[in-house]
Structure 1
């Protein structure tokens, strides 16, 4: 059993514990907060409050724990009995300096010593209380059970002590990491200083470049965070506006008005909450950039090596190769070659690379029902079905030239087209194939309506190697031929000499199915994947060269990643995908 502290020890303990940490004076009417810290009632009443809706909160001056203020104010917090006991002990010891005996408290109801403890009610009682009000309760003498209860409290205190030790280690670890970061930062600054001092006379311009690079990294990160903050504030404002409107409607509107507007308000609330992705608003940037020095070249003294999502987004994918798909694991395996902007060094974990098959670049509007598209050098050529012309665009989408036919060149229903290696345009136009130069002058044509050699007409058939309104055609890197068999809702695959090899696709709306495929293109520079435009499903479906479904994107509409009856599509030498969004009169570039 533990020995009782000496009189001087008790007096010292009491004096240390009787000072309020707010007013620094002896406690007056002390109250205990849920975090177990105690303060004078009037000190608590003087603390600033934080209001949330209709509830007020205060923060503990010691640990900053947020506590709800009772409806009756700070006076409703529990009395700090430990402080009051210390005050009584302090007064008693000072009045009776030679007394070593403890004074037993008296029951206010019966005037007898409080010698019993009721375990049922968790209360200290006298002998009369134990007989009258606690007759069948678990009562025991305090002198017999106090040690047991103290032991129980110490057992309950064990997890607290254990967690306290863990937190001490955590704080120590955080302090060590803080010191490491500060030392690393100071070390980097010192490295920069020494390096610049050594070669200042010849590398002053490079030093300014390095400083500018560091500032650009900082500004880029701050810019990203600024955009995120504005987006988050905008989303918050939007939610608050919706909430205010609904609350005002409920408070001021009649039942009939509220019920009439109920559906509209619920749809709007669902729409607003659905369009806000909270995950995208968490911080994308970190303060994790360091100096990587290189003094081998007098023209380049170093780089700030950093992880930056902004710089990562600006990287250019040079090549994607070794593409493999594992359907059971729902994963892909490929090699990736990237080029960072400004030749800067970018250090990123692999987990930060998020690959998307359909990153939208831009759209080129005001094209009258585009049907076929082909890319060559720095130009993109498009057939405008309703405009009965061929339009040549530059890489930025600006119209360079419009070929409307002249002399012995007439366009009836221009559809598919291709650019030859010697820069001539081949154009499918009704029953013939026309060859013209880049200025629209006639070179040659073949075909007429019919079923004989070099005659064209809608063939009909659903067997392998037969077609029902064939439209798009593409060649892969091995020379294999892929044909979009539109009215059979499939893609047929042939050898270079025309022998049927395989087919894939059936008419339906599900993933991996096809509904009126019009255009087809193969990413021969990168992945080797087959892209098919579905006129009936208003989307683009992607397959492997063996016909295995990979993904799809798009739906009916005129917004980003939406199409209306897409037709021709093609890849350029840089891997950009051009899609004729015919129903929206635009060319979409991915």
Structure 2
């Protein structure tokens, strides 16, 4: 404040104990001492003793006397120690937030990359459409030119015939007219002697003309020219076929490949993969020879191992596997032999478990309900275990996998892929045995794109199918040519990358 204001300031009753310092004295010892003195807080019990202690139970600042009286059973620390302790706790929270903030940076970077890729693909796809349009137009013009030339050729051929016919008819008509003219002159102007001398020759000439000349006929086939075309619907279908369809396709570019360490004896392999909203990747490891070794590994975004959930029924060597993440961020898994669904925190602490008949796989729908693929059933549970819906679902030679899309359609695989709606009514089946189009050889894990397309692993054929929401093959998304080998499960991570788990322990990320 200025000099005038400072003079007025001390005149007010409430400000009379204030001490004013010039700005240039803020670094002085006197200012620091005065500031420290005024920051001392007095204890409530006598408003005299300064507070030195912090009671963490009452969340109050107290003096030493109070610590031994009202707060003697409480957790009390000197202010500095308490502040250090709270700073350490706050530091943990800050680090957690900073780590989460880094995830946002990763997502933003990935989003920028994808935006660039989308614009590039937009230009590329439009260029392809325009090239196809030019090709179709060129082909249409070429065909139209051929048709026009054919029309000219056919028309000229007809005209040539008609011109020849016309010329012949004119010549023969002139001959007849000459005979008629001579005969008319003889009749009208000839004397009797001339008539008698020439009539016989004239009659003979007339009869000869009638006998030798035949009136030409127009050929019926040359009187019409017809353009035979297909109906418009078939033309549209053919044009659509020429242009093709726009479908999502993996670029095939391998972003990352990680090898998970597995034992060879007893033989271990990867069975499941799923990803969390925070970028974690969860890997299910399976061992047929010793099911007590079945476990779930939890990796962070850098693929550093964060924790392991062991088989809770290892003592009984029960089968343990399948992974889903619920809307609380908990890990949901199953134990088929003990007929259990078991829920864990990401730190591996058990949250709850409940009974479900012979569960082979579990997924979580948009309502937070657990959808369980049993050996011969398909059941929707509330997260507390209550059965909400159930229906039969055929068993098969292979373990089932299950996934729920954004519309709560339920995708189950076994010997083939079956898709149910949210009421568990079967919509369609996909994939007969084989290696051709819409054929599979051991279908396993699935995941879905935002538009409803399904990505299906085809283990025996070393490829991924991209299937439309109505069950039609769009294309093979990835195959052996992209380095795919025995894919077991698929997921899409928080950065929009396609994560593929291969049986022998390799986790691959591909650009979509």
Same fold (TM over 0.5): no
TM-score bracket, normalised by the shorter chain, equals 0.3 to 0.5
Whichever of the two has the greater Rg, that structure is: 2
What TM-score do the two structures reach when normalised by structure 1? 0.37
Q: Which has the higher contact order (CA 8 A, sep 6+)?
A: 2
What TM-score do the two structures reach when normalised by structure 2? 0.42
